[in-house]
Structure 1
Amino acid sequence: MATVELRFSAQPEHVRTARLVAAAVARRAGVDEAVLDEVRLAVGEACSRAVGLHRSHGITAPVRVVLTEEEKTFSIEVVDEVPAAGAEGSSAASDGRGGTEPDVESEDEDEMGLAVISGLVDDVEVSSTEEGGVIRMSWPTTPVAVEP
C-alpha cells in the first residue's frame, strides 16, 4: 500500500497543485485514463471547499490530502481542521461546523460542492468530527505494468 501525503496552506492558488499531484498519482496507481479528469475535478472541488472552510473559520493549519494506492483501489482523503459542532459522523453540508450563526451563502456553496463531488465520484464518504472534516473518495484501479 503506497501512500502520498500532501499538506498545503489554505490558499486558493495551492488547489491547482493538489489537483495535478492527485492526477499524477492516480495515473501511476492505475486509475483508468478516462476517469482522470473526474479525479482532478473532484479533488479540486474538495480542496477548494477545505480551503474555504479554513479561511472562513480562521484556521491556520494546512489542508491535508492523503492519496493511497491499495491492491484494487485508489483513494483520496481531503482533510480540513474545522471542527464539527457536536455532530460526529454527520454530513459536513449539514453539520453547522464551527459557527453559531451559519452563513447561508457559504452553506449553499458547501452543498453545491458536495453535490458536484457526488456526481463525479461513485464511492464518496463525507464525515466530520470534533477534529475536522474528511471527504474520502475512491476509484477502482487496474494493474499497471512496470517497465524494466
Structure 2
Amino acid sequence: MIENRPEGDVIQLKLPSLPDYLGVARLTVSGVANRMGFSYEEIEDIKLAVGEACSNAVKHAYRDDDKKGAIQLDCVVYSNRLQIVVTDEGKGLNSAPVADQLTPIYAGRDIEEVEEGGLGLYLIHTLMDEVEIRSDNGVSVSMTKYVRRDGVAGYDRTISEKEV
C-alpha cells in the first residue's frame, strides 16, 4: 500500500523546461478534462491556466542555470474535480504573491507599464476554482477545477488565507 496516495487516479508527465513542450502539457490536460466531462469552455480555461503555469516555469525557474531543468505535471482525477500540479525545481519565488499581483494590473501602474506575460497568476486564479502556490525547492502551482453537474459546482469559492 502506498502512503499518502490520493483517493483519485494520478497521471504524471515530466517535460523538459522548453517552450517546445508547452503544447504537450496543454494537450494532456485537455484529454484528461474531456474524459471527465468538462465543457468545451472549461477545458479551454484549464488549458490556458496550465499553459500559464508551465510558461512561468519555462521562463523563470531555470533562468540562471546553464542547463534546462524539467517541469513535472501531475493530474489527479477525483469524482468531482481535477487537480493539476505544475512543479519545477528551479530558483523559486522571491516571495509569495501578494493580493495586488493577483489582479490584472498591479496597483499604481499604468496599462503601458504592464509587461507581456505579467498576467499569468491573475489568469490562473481567475480560471481555476482553487489555486495554491508553494515555493520551497522550486515552485509548485496546484490548480483545481470542479466538475459542474446540472449547473452546480461541488465547491465553496472562498478566498483562503493562503491566496492572500
Partner of 1:45: 52
The 8 Å contact of residues 62 and 91 in structure 2, kept in 1 or not, is answered as: no
Looking at structure 2, the residues matched to 114 and 20 of structure 1 have their Cα atoms a distance apart, in angstroms, of 21
- The answer to whether structure 1 residue 67 and structure 2 residue 114 are counterparts is no
Match for residue 82 of structure 1 among 82, 90, 114: 90
After superposition, the Cα gap between the structure-2 partners of 1:65 and 1:85, relative to the gap in structure 1 and judged at 3 Å, is closer
TM-score normalised by structure 1 residue count: 0.74
Partners of 2:23 and 2:40 in 1: how far apart? 19
Residues 1:115 and 2:122 aligned together: yes
What amino acid maps onto 2:48 in structure 1?
L
Q: Moved runs in structure 1, 4+ residues, more than 4 A?
A: 108-111
Please state how far the C-alpha of 1:85 moved relative to its aligned partner. 6.8
CA contact (8 A) 1:31 1:139 kept: no
Q: Bigger CA drift: 41-50 or 114-123? A: 114-123
SS at match of 2:140: strand
Q: How far is the alpha carbon of 1:57 from its aligned partner?
A: 2.8
Shift of 1:30: 2.8
The higher relative CO (CA closer than 8 Å, separation ≥ 6) is in 1
Is 1:23 aligned with 2:13? Answer: no
- Structure 2: which 5+ residue stretches go unaligned? 1-7, 102-114, 150-164
Aligned: 1:132 with 2:145: no
Distance 2:90 2:16 in 1: 14
Instruction: Name the larger-Rg structure.
Output: 2
Q: Scaled by the length of structure 2, what TM-score is found?
A: 0.67
5+ residue gaps, structure 1, are 95-107, 144-148
Secondary structure of the 1:56 match is coil
| Structure 1 pair 14–84 and aligned structure 2 pair: CA distance change class (3 A) | closer
Distance 2:31 2:58 in 1: 21
Q: Which amino acid aligns with 2:35?
A: R
After superposition, the CA RMSD in angstroms is 2.7
Q: Contact (CA 8 Å) 2:69, 2:90: kept in 1 or not?
A: no
Kindly tell me: are residues 141 and 132 of structure 1, through their superposed partners in 2, closer, same or farther at Cα, counting changes over 3 Å?
same
Question: Corresponding residue for 2:20?
Answer: 13
